[in-house]
Structure 1
Amino acid sequence: MCNLLSLLCFVCTCVISSSRTIQDRKSHYHAKSSFDEKNKDHWRIQAQMTLLAKLDQSFNINVAKNVILFVGDGMSITTVAAARAYLGQQKGYLGEELKLSFESFPFTGLAKTYCVDSNVADSACSGTAYLSGVKANSGTVGLSAAVKRGDCRGQRDASHSVTGLMDWAQKSGKTTGLVTTTRVTHATPAAAYAHSADRKWEADTHMPKHGLRCEDIASQLVNGHVGSRIDVVLGGGRQNFLPNKVANGSEAGHRGDGRNLIQEWLQKRERLGAVPKYISTKEELLNIEDNYDSLLGLFSSDHMPYNLESNGEPSLADMTEAAIRILSKNKNGYFLFVEGGRIDTAHHETKARKALDETVEFAKAVEAATRLVDDQTLVVVTADHSHTMTYSGYSKRGSDILGLAKSKFNTSDYLPYTTLSYANGPGYKPHQDFHRHNLMLDDISNLNYTYPSLVPTARETHGGEDVAVFAQGPWAHLFTGSYEQNYLPHAIAYAACIGDGRLSCDN
């Protein structure tokens, strides 16, 4: 058995050699690889190094001054595995052997995602679970399961409202932030601050035209008890903050009540004693002055564009770094919620290429954050739910993760299939003359290619399996094992000494 010194020397040698350019790449087996995988000692040393790292782990039981909760919307374990191959192959490696940034976190667990009324979660009920600690009904935000979707009367009954990490952090004197690549009023971010019987009630024009009137989500972000006290809000969805009738060529929005919620936000923040700033471009974000302590950035009318279709909008990493810089000014610490939301929308369209690319962008944001924080910061990375994408076949190592499976077992109809496919969704292609569609006729390299699905649905659905949880920092070991999704905020609150549950500082 090699001793520790020789192990380290061997690994260092392998890492150095892996950075050299390999000239012959005529086959996948000539692609760049981190180590010599044909050497049996590689696997023994790799496993021993992992073991040594595990044995060297210590538990950080200090109070978490800061907390960053990252959620990759729809980032199933299958998505993580495929995205790591996608990233690796972009860099010239075989791909499968690499890790996304958060996969190097020392502690990992599994969260069960079902809703109270549904075995497969949507982003609203799951967001309520991992942000407030209470499981809810599908389609509802920030409300207990006593309220069914669309029940405005139930929304108006304050006894059904639930708050969580954002509220608990604010009450403890921490600054708070929200970053997303979707509309800031979309289901996932809305769960951080709003109480809505329907996730679709983002603006007043989305509400039922008859019956009781409930406050829309955008209005709750500006004037709500929790929403109005969020110090940094960055993402898309400008349309839900602007009136639909404007003069002098101004941008039109979706609001029918004539209110300009951006102006209301500025006025509200000033009344709360903040120095606020509204921005709408990447240049403004990257050059924000130090004197501002409150920031609203709406960089798109709707969801922010996919990274592969960006027109100069800030990346998720850009927004995350800016949020941390502003929130870090508070000596009491901060709570930041970051969502990579377009992983989910790409999966719903069965556009696997976009979904994997958005996952890589999400991992970049996590990496950017970890470079800026210290060991007083708890960082938790997870997903809200799964999707139906599968990763199958017996292709050779290094085969294009987005290409056709090259299996040693021929299909019974002698037609090819893709390594990635979906159980349902718009990628369904009808059989012709009782034969499966020939994928050789498709342009799989097209950015908007819809990957094959088994069942024709207008939108691909979520999946019901558990999602992974990755953690580092104070009390990160609390996130190992298997647990209900609503456990997450309770563990985070314990680590950060916020909220009214059991707290680490009580000891």
Structure 2
Amino acid sequence: MKHLVLLCLLSTGISIASENNTVHTDNQWYRQGQEKIKALQAQADFPKQAKNIIFFVGDGMSLATITASRIYQGQQKGEDGEENLLSFEKFPYTALSKTYNTNLQTPDSAGTMSAMITGIKTKAGAISVDERVQIGECGPKAHHTTSLLTEAELAGFRTGIVTTARLTHATPAATYANSEKRGWEADSDIPKKYRKDCKDIALQLIDYPHGDGLEVAMGGGRKNFIGTKKADPEYLLLAKGERKDQRDLTSQWLKKHDHAAYVWNQKQFDALDVSKTDHLLGLFEPSHMQYEIDRKNDVAGEPALKEMTAKALQILQKDDKPFFLMVEGGRIDHGHHAGYAKKALHDTVAFSSAIENALSMVDLNETLIMVTADHAHTMSMSGYAQKGNPILGKIVVPDDQGNPSKTLQKDAQGKPMTTLSYANGPGYVNGDERPDLTHVDTEHKEYKQAATVPLYSETHSGEDVIIYATGAGSQLVRGVLEQNMTYHIMKAAISHQLQLNANETKGK
């Protein structure tokens, strides 16, 4: 009888405690847990079919990056940071994604994005072609794979890509191009013997032959769209184009599409009338766009990822057509490669802000939003920093009673340590003696976190990344998945809409 009463009390959520124990209902962690359970139980299922998809890719956004960025954002708001959540961490469905390429344990962005957008895994360095290709050799079109963006465009969807990297860089390129080498961004990058049979990636964007072409393409990479004899409009004396054919692909974009616009600075971007724009090309830097933390110093001004995403959605949602939009936080990856953890975290927070804003602009009962990374990085969080310690700072440990202190954790040489470090990269310091960080500002945006192995550029890492999903069709995101399943889940979500559009096209 006593056990029966105990079970009844537990099932009704009534807390039991002896005189010497904590009363559960008075404990904040217990109350938070109970509130979360109620929220999960009350959550309504989304429809299984979606009309629209927004696919967010945080390039290089590892689990450690997400954790550190969550804390970083919280501390920017004056909180300890650990309890904070980035916008997409609140999504109801998650899965792990296995990121290896067909020829590498630790992958690159070309092979991983190709898998996510075409459903077919391939080699590192390959853009939306299958694994039979020889990297750097122009091959038969039989090896080309079809991206979900192209399938959507052929079905009459409005389509768009937004990135803070070059538009011709690996992740965005995989959505619209096919290339045996990710570096073939302009014609000057392709060996002369292959230029007749293999188009460069920038030209493939402008000559994109499917449907009525992309409605939105915004990012960096101006140099790949203009000739070598033409000065860059922003850096007149410092930069020129990279096209040996001397073609101005920005002019070709305007000629190809009705109601088209081309913008390359903040003023033009802000002045754009979306009601009169059906096809928008934005190229805001010769190469990659600025890191978010440096964006205010840009010569001509350039929009934030949040602003570009919002503008893209305004254009894609102008009528009742379905849409597919890919958004990449491309410079998270570059911050890590350079050993600049602060820049990587700052761009991750900006990526989260773009997602949060997009959530306010769509109906989740008809829109699937998926967020993931193409691969991870070697940044890690270690040491025993006390709760609330600056995530970019030197490690301060609690006292012997577990309470806050001002005591720095020291290494074996008696020198302070940082919470964040890399397994390899430019932060390596030659010699047996680690530098003394006592008077070093480890929270500066250009402080290079310590690296164990010396490399000019930090590498990717091979562990799984997380897929987050919400909205229509998001229920399929669960378990441990091969990375190419990302495509198959998105396609399953819009399969009905693809068929509807196909039937409408046949009926015309």
Deviations 1:271-296 (A, max 9, x none): xxx31111112232233211111100
CA shift digits 1:263-317 (9 cap, x unpaired): 1111122xxxx31111112232233211111100111111000111112310000
Displacement of 1:3:
11
Aligned to 1:414: 414
Q: Under a length normalisation based on structure 2, what TM-score does the superposition of the two structures give?
A: 0.87
C-alpha deviation, 1:439, in angstroms: 2.3
Residues 455 and 43 of structure 1: CA distance in aligned 2, closer, same or farther (over 3 Å): same
Mapped to 2, the partners of 1:181 and 1:498 lie a distance apart of: 32
- Alpha-carbon distance in 2 for matches of 1:84, 1:366: 14
Superposed CA deviations along residues 65-101 of structure 1, whole A, max 9, x for unmatched, are 1100000000001000000110011110000100000
* Structure 2 residue aligned with 1:427: 427
Structure 2 counterpart of 1:413, which letter?
Q
- With over 3 angstroms needed to count, the CA separation of the structure-2 counterparts of 1:307 and 1:212, relative to structure 1, is closer
Q: CA deviation at 1:462?
A: 0.2
Pairing of 1:222-233 with structure 2 (within 5 A)? 222-226=206-210, 229-233=213-217
Do the aligned residues in 1 keep the contact of 2:98 with 2:464 (CA within 8 Å)? yes
Q: For residue 252 of structure 1, report the CA deviation from its aligned partner.
A: 2.7
Distance 2:477 2:118 in 1: 16
State the alpha-carbon separation in 2 of the partners of residues 474 and 112 from structure 1: 24
For the residue of structure 1 that corresponds to 2:246, the secondary structure is coil
Q: Distance in 2 between matches of 1:6 and 1:199?
A: 60
Where does residue 245 of structure 2 map in the other structure? Answer: 257
| TM-superposition CA deviations, 1:29-68 (whole Å, max 9, x none) | xxxxxxxxx9962111111111112222332224211100
Any conservation in 2 of the 1:168–1:499 contact (CA below 8 Å)?
no
* Contact in 1 for aligned 2:72/2:391 (Cα 8 Å): yes
| Residue 198 (structure 1) aligns with | 181
Contact 1:351 1:449 in 2 (8 A): yes
Distance in 2, matches of 1:427 and 1:449, equals 9
Q: Which amino acid aligns with 1:98?
A: N
TM-score (norm 1): 0.87
Cα deviation 1:236-273 (Å, max 9, x = unaligned): 1111000011389877311111100111111122xxxx
Unpaired runs of at least 5, structure 2: 1-8, 16-23, 399-408, 504-508
Task: Quote the residue 2:120 is aligned against.
Answer: 134
Q: How many residues align?
A: 464
Distance in 2 between the 1:227 and 1:134 partners? 23
**Partner residue of 1:447?**
445
CA spacing shift, 1:199–1:247, aligned 2, 3 Å: closer
Query: Quick one: which of 375, 382, 386 aligns to 1:385?
Result: 375
For residues 62 and 401 of structure 1, the distance between their equivalents in structure 2, rounded to whole angstroms, comes to: 39
Q: Which moved further from structure 2: 217-226 or 50-59? A: 50-59
Query: Partner residue of 1:112?
Result: 98
Aligned to 2:65: 79
CA separation in 1, counterparts of 2:361 and 2:268?
21
- CA displacement at 1:424 relative to structure 2: 0.3
The residue number in structure 2 matching 1:317 is 306
Cα deviation for residue 436 of structure 1 reads: 2.3
Q: SS in structure 1 opposite 2:33?
A: helix
Contact 1:220 / 1:228 at 8 angstroms: preserved in 2? no
Distance 1:248 1:303 in 2: 14
Of stretches 73-82 and 329-338 in structure 1, the one that deviates more from structure 2 is 329-338
RMSD: 2.5
Q: Does structure 2 retain, via aligned residues, the 8 Å contact 1:177–1:230? A: yes
Residue of structure 2 equivalent to 1:42:
28
Give structure 1 stretches of 5+ with no counterpart: 8-37
Q: 1:186 maps to which residue? A: 169
Q: CA deviation at 1:224?
A: 2.8
| Deviation sequence 1:399-423 (CA, Å, 0-9, x none) | 0100112246653221221100000
Identity %: 42
CA contact (8 A) 1:83 1:357 kept: yes
Q: Partner of 1:473 in structure 2? A: 471
Give the conservation status (yes or no) of the 8 Å contact 2:232–2:240. Answer: no
Instruction: Indicate the residue corresponding to 1:13 in structure 2.
Output: none
| CA distance in structure 2 between the aligned counterparts of 1:485 and 1:240, rounded to whole angstroms | 30
